[in-house]
Structures are given as C-alpha cells and as structure tokens.
Homo-oligomer: A and B are copies of this chain.
Amino acid sequence: MANPLLMKLEQFAHFEEPERRQLDRLLDFPRRSYRAHEVIVAEGAKVRDVHLVLSGMAARSKALANGERQLMAFLIPGDLCDVEVFILDAMDHDIVALADTTCVLIPSGVMEDLLTQSSRLTRAMWWSTMLDSAVLREWMVGHGRRGASERLAHLFYELLVRHRLIGAAGDNTLSLPMTQEELGDATGLTAVHVNRVLQELRAEGLVEWRDKILTVVDPERLRAAGRFQANYLHLMGTDGRGGEVSSRAGDLVSQTSTD
C-alpha cells in the first residue's frame, strides 16, 4: 500500500530517501481495526500510542449532554488522530470510526522522540497539526457565514482535494462512507435538511453519491457553489515550489477569483 502519510506530508516538504524510509517504518507498528461507529480514542484518554488512519474514515466528535453531537473534522488515511494528547494531557473529544477503519498505533515513545527532535520530520508533523487547525478555522467560517448548500458543497470539495493529495480520488470519485445524519452532525444541520440539500446538489448536476461513493460531476461548479478558496489548505503546488502536489490536485486549487 502507498504511504498516505508520506503523500500528505509531501505537500509540505520534499523528503530524501532516509526520511522516506523513516516514514515508511512508522507503518510497520502494530495495527488495529475498528468497526463503524466504534470509538477509537475516547474523551478523557491520556497519553498512549498515537493513532494514524490507514484506511476507512474517522471523525473528531464532541457529544453534548442532550445526546446531540458535533463532528469537528474528518480523518482520512494519512491523518493523525491524537497528537495533541501529548501536550494537552487528555483528549477533550472522541475519535470515532465512521466506517470500518484501520489505524497504525505508533508507540508513544517513538512519537515523543519525533516531536522533540529538530528534524524535517518533526516540522512536518507540526505542519500536519497546524493544518488541522487551519481546516477547522475554515469550517468555522462555513458554520457562521455559509448556508446549508454552500456548507455541503464546500465540504465535498475539500474532501475531494484532500483525497487527491493522498492519491485516493484520481477520477473525481472518493469514498464517503457515512450516513446523511453524520454529514449533518459535521455541518451543523439535521439529517432531514441534509437530505433535501443533497437532492438539490444532485439535481444541479454537481455531485452523485451512491453506495458510499461520492462522485464530483462538475468540480468547478461545485467549487463555486461552496465558495471554496484553497489557500487555507496551504498547498505548495501552485506557487512553483513543488511539482508533486500540483500534479495531484493542481487543477482543483487554481485561484480563479471570478466568483
């Protein structure tokens, strides 16, 4: 299997052979599989092995006292679930599997070393967590200032770009293994309204979504519908510093200011 973490981090820096091998070795640690809806890391958990998603999909989730919940991030292959626990001491939210998901469990000692070294790899790891924050900020904009259809369109487009970057969406198709209710928990909408908006997006020929496979029919119009601006993803493909990313997602992130 390709190394999704390596592919993701290549947005940030170019790695030489020894570093690539170091990153590959991270995947050799023991793995664990989770069924859909299983809790991967629970709120309150203290420092343990760090979970790196290899396949499937997970989400950061906060449960409210009244049973409602809010998903705050989708974690796809190459994403780290719980680095923050090293610094903050305990998780303040759950990581739940949306579909059947497998993770590598990177031993905490290895992770501790990675975080306290001063290598390019350390920096790449920090880059990954800062990028998570950047995505989170963009979601805030969506929740505060975008309507329901814009929010969904934006989310779909973001997922398309992120899947491209790890080589998992070559043909504008990606695995979206969740229910409409979970999509609502992420966007701050109800399942019913998600359903109605999805029908709009389908009717307008922007996306298809069948059998947990999302097909982006018209990327450019989807991008416009979500008022998507790629700068928050901090890709380096478009400013000439790296070729690999641009070959994977370059056509999705061009800065046409014509919207």
- A contact set with B: CB distance below 8 Å: 43, 60, 62, 64-65, 68-70, 72, 84, 87-90, 92-93, 116, 118, 123, 126-127, 129-134, 136-141, 143-145, 185, 187-188, 227, 231-232, 234, 236, 259
Contacts and interface: CB of A to CB of B under 8 A. Distances in A.
Given A118-B118, A133-B136, A143-B144, 5 more contacts: A64-B145, A70-B144, A88-B134, A139-B140, A144-B187
Which one of A72, A123, A134 has the greatest number of beta carbons of chain B within 10 Å? A72
A72 B130 CA distance: 15
A69 B140 CA distance: 11
Nearest to A186: B144
Contact of A62 (B70, B132, B141): B141
Contacts of A130: 84, 87-88, 129
Nearest to A140: B72
Contacts of A88: 127, 130-131, 134, 234
Contact of A227 (B43, B64, B87, B123): B64
Which of A84, A140, A185 is most buried by chain B, counting CB atoms within 10 A of its CB? Answer: A140
Given A64-B145, A116-B118, A145-B70, A136 B127 contact: no
Q: Which residue of A60, A65, A88, A89 has the most chain B CB atoms within 10 A of its CB atom?
A: A88
B145 A140 contact: no
